[in-house]
């Protein structure tokens, strides 16, 4: 019979050291709340819904994680043992194993949790603590072993003797328990300490005193157990995860000119032979196609970029861009933009909720909002899609092969039919028929010697 694997994620901790009104575990690492990484890691191991223990401000966490997670509530932060007590209703009458960890350990991986679980099950342990080796353990609790090298106890840094402070093996605060043994230990747990708190580490001592088998599994990469409790630790964790993500892309055939100055989210997909220059920020579910070049300083969010496309110093949000298209510099593609193949989107062009056909050129200083632009269209410099009448937004349609001259206003709703021309400086309020030339501007009048007359009149006055 398959073991039941339940994960208990403690997310009710005090965020005073973060100096923020936001719950600690909601602070972001590489663009995503740190608890999201922890929950994803346990989902890769557990075979049932994890239990997240919430405290004050927990509604934000619940909204983030959604209904597929079980929730327990810790009304007061009375220690890690107390937090796990709040999840007892989800553990009672269960067999199998419980993984217990904090929601502020964003660098932990599913593989390490699986290794911990396997070590506990295969070794027939009642509980196993995950440890790591640090050259400078700082304030971490130390793992004290007996003369046989087996687990003896955990001593907190502040309570450690000078000899114990020399120990380099530290407690990660990540555990695997046999569920029945965990429940029994929690029932015996007391808060006889100056803080009046219930410590989960005491459960290990309780079980050991009962003759239960306690083990220690040491993780190879000590970065994985890093807890984030301050803004400095948040920055350090972000740097570590950013490098982990970037090196993964390098191994998959992506060129990053400067990995330490390229920021890629954990869910971004990049195909091989993409070249990314420094200063690029790729977020959300963005996908970058093979052979594309991202020149410096673009931000791309939740967008799909085709193959062999070039993007320079632009912002692209929730948009799609085809193959062999160029964008920028300084273009702004807002949500809902769909750009075809072999398109030119030039400098200071803004696109919003618009579809641009293949081979079209929008070279500079143009706004295309709520429009459908066909194939092989030329939109000159300074063209504006006037899409808002003060109450509603309307669409503009420009069909294939149309030529729209510079400084033209297209006042929606309006249709420019295929193969038509619009003279520069026009304000178009009516549809333009196929093959027609539309001119909508006042006739130029030159008044000879007007300036001389004006100057004479001014001097007389």
- Predicted confidence at residue 461, as pLDDT, reads 65
- Same domain as 305, residue 193: no
Q: What is the dihedral of CA 239, 242, 247, 253, to 10 degrees?
A: -150
**Is residue 211 domain-resident?**
yes
Q: How far is C-alpha 333 from the geometric centre of its chain's CA atoms?
A: 19
- Same domain as 283, residue 179: no
User: What phi and psi values does residue 148 have, to the nearest 5 degrees?
Assistant: -90, -5
**Is residue 459 domain-resident?**
no
Whether residue 13 has pLDDT greater than 80: no
pLDDT digits (tens, 9 = 90+) for 144-166: 999 988 999 998 888 888 998 89
- Predicted confidence at residue 459, as pLDDT, reads 80
CATH of residue 104 = 3.90.550.10
- Same domain as 346, residue 204: no
CATH of residue 320 = 2.160.10.10
DSSP sequence for 28-94: EETTEEHHHHHHHHHHTT-SS--EEEE-TTHHHHHHHH-TTSEEEE-SS---HHHHHHTTGGGTTT-
Whether residue 14 has pLDDT greater than 80: no
pLDDT digits (tens, 9 = 90+) for 219-260: 999 999 999 999 999 999 999 999 999 999 999 999 999 999
Element (H, E) at 121: helix 110-122
- Same domain as 169, residue 284: no
Q: Encoding tokens for residue 350?
A: 């803004």
- Same domain as 257, residue 221: no
**Is residue 369 domain-resident?**
yes
- Same domain as 211, residue 295: no
**Is residue 48 domain-resident?**
yes
Q: What is the pTM of this model?
A: 0.91
**Is residue 325 domain-resident?**
yes
- Convert 421-439 to b/e letters by CB count within 10 Å (16 or more is b): bbbeebebeeebeeeeebe
- Predicted confidence at residue 93, as pLDDT, reads 85
Whether residue 44 has pLDDT greater than 70: yes
- Same domain as 259, residue 194: no
pLDDT digits (tens, 9 = 90+) for 117-130: 999 999 999 999 99
Mark whether 82 is an active-site residue.
no
Label residue 77 by pLDDT band (50, 70, 90): confident
Instruction: Show Cβ contacts of residue 424 under 8 Å, excluding neighbours closer than 6 positions.
Output: 380, 405, 406, 407, 408
Q: Encoding tokens for residue 335?
A: 């949500």
> Mean pLDDT, the chain, as a whole number?
94
pLDDT digits (tens, 9 = 90+) for 318-334: 999 999 999 999 999 99
Label residue 139 by pLDDT band (50, 70, 90): confident
SS3 115: helix
**Taking Cα atoms as reference points, which of 442, 443, 403 lies closest to residue 423?**
403
Choice among 27, 82, 249, 364 that is catalytic:
364
**Is residue 22 domain-resident?**
yes
Whether residue 272 has pLDDT greater than 70: yes
What's the CA gap between 110 and 43, in Å, rounded? 8
Find the domain containing 102 and state its range: 5-225
**Is residue 150 domain-resident?**
yes
**Is residue 164 domain-resident?**
yes
- Same domain as 427, residue 311: yes
What's the CA gap between 458 and 164, in Å, rounded? 95
Domain count, the chain: 2
- Same domain as 286, residue 202: no
């Amino acid at each position: 019979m398959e073991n039941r694997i339940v994960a208990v994620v403690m997310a009710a901790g005090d965020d005073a050291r973060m100096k923020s009104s936001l719950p600690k575990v909601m602070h972001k690492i590489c663009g995503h709340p740190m608890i999201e990484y922890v929950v994803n890691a346990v989902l890769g191991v557990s075979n049932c819904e994890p239990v997240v223990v919430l405290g004050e401000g927990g509604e934000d966490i619940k909204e983030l994680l959604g209904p597929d997670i079980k929730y327990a509530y810790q009304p007061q932060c009375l220690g890690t043992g107390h937090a796990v007590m709040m999840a007892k209703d989800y553990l009672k009458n269960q067999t199998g194993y419980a993984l217990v960890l904090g929601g502020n350990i964003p660098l932990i991986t599913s593989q390490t949790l699986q290794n911990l679980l396997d070590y506990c099950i295969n070794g027939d342990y009642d509980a196993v603590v995950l440890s790591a080796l640090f050259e400078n353990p700082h304030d971490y609790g130390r793992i004290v072993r007996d003369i046989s090298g087996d687990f003896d106890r955990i001593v907190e840094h502040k309570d450690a003797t000078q000899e114990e402070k020399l120990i380099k093996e530290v407690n990660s605060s990540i555990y695997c328990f046999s569920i029945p043994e965990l429940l029994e230990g929690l029932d015996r747990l007391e808060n006889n300490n100056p803080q009046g708190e219930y410590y989960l580490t005491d459960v290990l001592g309780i079980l050991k005193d009962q003759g239960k088998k306690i083990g220690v599994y040491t993780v190879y990469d000590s970065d994985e157990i890093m807890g984030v409790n301050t803004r400095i630790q948040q920055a350090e964790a972000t740097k570590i995860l950013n490098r982990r993500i970037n090196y993964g892309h390098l191994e998959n055939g992506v060129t990053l000119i400067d990995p330490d100055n390229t920021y890629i989210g954990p869910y971004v997909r990049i195909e091989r032979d993409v070249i990314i220059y420094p200063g690029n920020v790729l977020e959300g579910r963005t996908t970058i196609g093979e052979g594309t070049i991202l020149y410096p300083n673009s931000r791309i969010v939740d967008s799909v970029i085709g193959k062999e496309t070039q993007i320079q110093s632009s912002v692209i949000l929730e948009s799609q861009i085809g193959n062999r298209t160029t964008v920028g510099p300084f273009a702004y593609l807002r949500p809902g933009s769909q750009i075809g193949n072999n398109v030119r989107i030039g400098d200071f062009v803004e696109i919003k909720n618009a579809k641009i056909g293949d081979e079209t050129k929008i070279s500079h200083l143009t706004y295309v909002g709520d429009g459908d632009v066909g194939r092989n269209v030329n939109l000159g410099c300074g063209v504006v899609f006037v899409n808002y009448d003060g109450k509603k937004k309307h669409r503009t349609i420009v069909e294939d092969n149309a030529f729209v001259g510079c400084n033209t206003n297209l006042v929606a709703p309006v249709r420019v039919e295929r193969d038509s021309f619009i003279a520069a400086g026009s304000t178009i309020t009516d549809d333009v028929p196929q093959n027609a030339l539309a001119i909508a501007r006042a006739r130029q009048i030159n008044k000879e010697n007007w300036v001389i007359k004006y100057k004479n009149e001014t001097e007389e006055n």
